[in-house]
Chains A and B, each alone.
Chain A
């Protein structure tokens, strides 16, 4: 019996090519779009590379200062980091850096290169993979040594893959000694990405006036690495205490607010927005789910109406089978299985297409103002999310098949055979 069902199913598919195509198309494309959407967000939240363990970190990238007239939004001020955060942070667990770009003059061209000024613990907090040499230490940073770490990509462009540790590079008119080469970092990794890393003390120093610091924004982003001794709650409480101290200095003239410390997910959703307007992760998840549902649901409506007409086409077949003793349950089950198989096929096709699209159009999908280097983006697949998406589209397709088939099977066979309609 199963065998006959399968045969029947196959006949149905090949006889009604248009319907088959529309079902596959209406399922696979939405599944593809949604999977690409999900993977994109996932990769921005956890880009891997140095940030592979970022679920153990809390990020603080935004500061807002409200004054009597006007407000300022920016990154974190160096003075706050040096005078307050370094006091509360457990040893080796706070990274801070400022990312900017510079023009480097090569033999035949000028390239705009992203550079990042960091502290020494930056190398402890993030997991960089060193190909040669070492990172700079607290001593280097304290002495304002002109030492840099470069990426593999930079090494290739500057020296053509030769041994580079110990060489010097001229940046902005000054000579720097290369002391390490690290594996390339994807620019999706907003907190760690650069091509050149150098001690932050070289080009900046913080204001000494505590009152000025208390109401200042700056250019730095901070990452705290949690440990057993210094957990998420503790970090958040400590940062909040710093904020209270700063606001105490500010008195009634100004108020300072932090957009964090936040987990990588929240940090991504917060983006560069005003810390006060952030409405929580749930809103962002719901917005994503809403988009996904819309993309799944509209084609499903199409399938439902098409199913309705198709069932009418098959009403005679169903009536005959009923007349020969087929039960309603059986009829409904068959339609159900047919639709499910089609949906699963479409879903799998969508999964493959999502892979293909992400591999072929990596640049177009991931490039934006902050993302320039997609070479290191490692495409993965979230099968749990895929299962959920597939379940939802299965639900739609079962509904779309079940309602009309139940309606049909309720009718008297004789009435249908005579040409009666729903």
Chain B
């Protein structure tokens, strides 16, 4: 039966030439876009590892490069903010807030292993503000020995794997160029932006005396049921910090920063999906039109098939099989082309992703072809042999 379907299709290849080519081209386009979308969406779904609802961001800078930021000022500000009735917890961070543009990186080595990691500075309250999940050891806290020269750090799981492999990372010392870092804990995941791929991250204790202090920003988690109160936050900041030395550079909810950061990507994703949606809709309409007409043409053939003993179900199955054969004939060359394309190097392509995208696009194409055949197929099976033959 299956080979019969293929032979039927092969005999009509001239008639179906264009639609065959269209299926081929659309499958290519659909596969590439599905690959792109799957990559974007899986990356997005991984999450940043932070809970950002109810978190407010205030960036404080010095008035001019001549002023040096003083840690004591920032500590006082943090404690005043944390004492506010509406505030749950406050963290002093530098480069550790998600959805900020700037990134600083460095290379770290441990024995044979080396990796580049994004560097962040944060204080003890960081996990209580952003709710990052500590899976091994603990976050640095006041009990850490501040007289020791080694700076307490927390790394993410990816960095732990890259540097220490199967070894337990907690307690290990990562030698640095100027100072050494002692690993206190491992968090499950962290990303600065939703659409970034996973990278190693290292969080250093911003308050450690051996760490250079270059200023910080405040991450403020306000209590559920409260609104953020930026004016009050600012009053508290300026009650500690002299206005001629410090200024508030940015003040916004993390939600707002996230929305802005993602606006580039969401626009692209929407645009690409709309175009593919249009192409697919067009394909379905085209298939329905052509099939509907061709079934009409084969009125008598179907009649004869029924007359010599084919059941309705068999006729219906034949139509479906033919279309199935047509799709396979288009997809096999498309598949060969896809495997050849070396251009995939521009994407972080893994086999899992490739397989996922392939399954999704195959399902999509076959489903749409199935839908387009549904109506003409049923019409064909309803042909009454006597009527069809009489008409002939």
B 21-38 binary contact with A (CB < 8 Å = 1; else 0):
110011001000000000
User: Considering residues A295, A309, A310, which has the most beta carbons from chain B within 10 angstroms of its beta carbon?
Assistant: A309
Chain A residues lying within 8 Å of B270, measured Cβ to Cβ, are 364
**Pair A102/B297 contact, Cβ less than 8 Å:** no
**Across the interface, which residues of B come within 8 angstroms of A294, CB to CB?**
29
Q: What residues of chain A lie closer than 8 Å to B260, measured between beta carbons? A: 369, 372
CA distance A128 to B290 in the complex (A): 58
| A25 and B282 form a contact (CB under 8 A) | yes
* A110 in the interface (beta carbon within 8 A): yes
Given A173-B63, A294-B29, A112:B285 Cβ within 8 A:
no
Do A298 and B22 touch (CB < 8 A)? Answer: yes
Q: Say whether B230 contacts A22, CB under 8 Å.
A: no
One of B141-149, B261-269, B310-318, B354-362 contacting the partner:
B261-269
Contacts of B18 in A (CB 8 A): 301-302, 304-305, 308
Q: Which residues of chain A come closer than 8 Å to B42, judged between CB atoms?
A: none
Does the CB pair A103–B25 fall under 8 Å? no
Q: How many angstroms from the CA of A308 to the CA of B290 in the assembled complex?
A: 9
Q: A203's contact among B64, B244, B264, B293, by CB below 8 Å, is which?
A: B64
Question: What are 12 sample pairs from A and B whose C-beta atoms fall under 8 A apart?
Answer: A22-B289, A112-B250, A203-B64, A297-B25, A299-B279, A301-B18, A302-B285, A305-B16, A309-B290, A312-B297, A313-B293, A368-B267
Closest Cβ–Cβ distance, residue B223 to chain A (whole Å): 19
Q: Which of B264, B282, B286, B293 contacts A369 (CB 8 A)?
A: B264
- Min CB distance B224 to A, Å, is 21
In the complex, what residues of B have CB within 8 A of residue A364's CB? 267, 270
- The answer, yes or no, to whether A53 is at the interface (CB within 8 Å) is no
- Complex CA distance for A298 and B284, rounded to whole angstroms: 12
* Nearest-neighbor residue (CB-CB) of B300 within chain A: A419
Q: Does A159 contact B (CB under 8 A)?
A: no
Among A26, A110, A294, A367, find the residue whose CB has the most chain B CB atoms closer than 10 A: A110
Partner among B244, B252, B264 whose Cβ is within 8 Å of the Cβ of A173:
B244
Instruction: Given A105-B234, A305-B19, A305-B290, check contact A298 B29 (CB 8 Å).
Output: yes
Indicate if the CB atoms of B63 and A172 lie closer than 8 Å.
Answer: yes
A172 and B249 alpha carbons, distance in the complex (Å): 7
Task: List the B side residues contacting A105 at CB < 8 Å.
Answer: 230-231, 234, 251
Contact of B275 among A33, A173, A304 (CB under 8 A): A33
Contact of B263 among A205, A295, A368 (CB under 8 A): A368
Task: Give me the interface of A with B, judged by CB distance under 8 Å.
Answer: 18-19, 22, 25-26, 29, 33, 100-103, 105, 109-110, 112, 172-174, 203-205, 294-295, 297-299, 301-306, 308-310, 312-313, 364-365, 367-369, 372, 422
A102-B15 in contact given A305-B290, A312-B297 (Cβ < 8 Å): no
Contact among B14, B250, B274 with A102 in the assembled complex (CB-CB below 8 Å): B250
A298–B230 Cα distance when bound, in Å, is 53
Known A-B contacts: A110-B234, A173-B246, A305-B22. Give 9 more (CB < 8 A): A22-B289, A26-B282, A33-B274, A103-B252, A297-B25, A305-B17, A306-B286, A310-B293, A369-B260
Shortest Cβ distance from A302 into B: residue? B286
Interface residue tally on B, bucketed by range: 35 or more
Question: Within 8 Å CB of A309, what residues of B?
Answer: 15, 289-290, 293-294
In the complex, which residues 1-18 of chain B have their Cβ closer than 8 Å to any Cβ of chain A?
14-18
What are the residues of chain A within 8 A of B274 when measuring CB–CB? 33
Contact of B251 among A100, A103, A204, A299 (CB under 8 A): A103
Q: Nearest chain A CB to B243's CB is how many angstroms away?
A: 4
In the bound assembly, the distance between CA atoms of A308 and B230 in angstroms comes to 67
Which A residues lie within 8 Å of B261 (CB)? 369
Judge if B283 is at the interface, Cβ distance under 8 Å.
Answer: yes
Please measure, in the bound complex, the distance between the C-alpha atom of A112 and the C-alpha atom of B58, giving whole angstroms. Answer: 11
List residues of chain B with CB under 8 Å of any chain A CB: 14-19, 21-22, 25-26, 29, 58, 63-65, 230-231, 234, 238, 243-244, 246-252, 260-261, 263-264, 267, 270, 274-275, 278-279, 282-283, 285-286, 289-290, 293-294, 297
Complex alpha-carbon distance, A26 and B367, angstroms: 21
State the 8 A-B residue pairs at the shortest beta-carbon distance, nearest first: A172-B247, A305-B18, A103-B251, A302-B286, A173-B243, A301-B22, A110-B230, A309-B293
Chain B: which residue is nearest A106 at the CB level? B231
With the chains together, A156 CA to B297 CA distance in Å? 69
- B14, B246, B285 pick with most chain A CB within 10 angstroms: B285
Bound complex: CA A109 to CA B243 (Å): 20
A369 and B267 CA atoms in complex are apart in Å by: 10
Chain A nearest Cβ from B254, distance in angstroms: 13
Minimum CB–CB distance for A388 against chain B, Å: 20
Q: When chains A and B are docked, how far (Å) is the Cα of A103 from the Cα of B230?
A: 10
Asked if residues A367 and B289 are in contact (CB atoms below 8 Å), the reply is: no
Q: Which of A18, A101, A298, A308 contacts B282 (CB 8 A)?
A: A298
Cα-based distance from A301 to B234 in the complex (angstroms): 62
Q: Least Cβ distance of A306 to chain B in Å?
A: 5
Contacts of B278 in A (CB 8 A): 29, 33
Complex CA gap A18/B267 in Å reads 33
A29 → chain B closest CB, angstroms: 5
* Bound CA span A369–B194, Å: 14
Q: Which residues of A contact B294 (CB under 8 A)?
A: 309
Known: A105-B231, A172-B247. A308 touches B15 (CB 8 A): yes
Take A105-B230, A364-B270 as given contacts and tell me if A299 and B282 are in contact as well, using a CB distance cutoff of 8 Å: yes
User: How many angstroms from the CA of A103 to the CA of B267 in the assembled complex?
Assistant: 27
Q: Residue on B with the closest CB to A104? A: B251
Q: A309 to chain B: closest CB distance in Å?
A: 4
* Chain A, residue nearest B274 (CB): A33
B14: nearest chain-A partner, CB-CB: A422
In the complex, which residue of chain B has the Cβ closest to the Cβ of A22? B285
Query: Could you tell me if B26 and A298 are in contact, using CB atoms closer than 8 angstroms?
Result: yes
Q: Please give the distance in Å from A410's CB to the nearest CB on chain B.
A: 15
Asked if A305 and B286 make an inter-chain contact with CB atoms under 8 angstroms apart, the answer reads: yes
Closest B residue to A107 using CB positions = B231
Q: Which residues of A contact B65 (CB under 8 A)?
A: 204-205
Residue of A nearest to B292 (CB): A18
A294 to B247, CA, bound (A): 52
List residues of chain A with CB within 8 A of the CB of B250: 101-103, 112
Q: Which of B244, B261, B289 has the most CB of A within 10 A?
A: B289
CA distance A100 to B64 in the complex (A): 15
B260: min CB distance to chain A, Å: 6
Q: How far is the CB of A116 from chain B (nearest CB, A)?
A: 14
**Alpha-carbon separation in the docked complex, A308 to B16 (Å):** 9
Inter-subunit contact B248/A172 (CB<8 Å): yes
A40 to B, closest residue via Cβ? B271
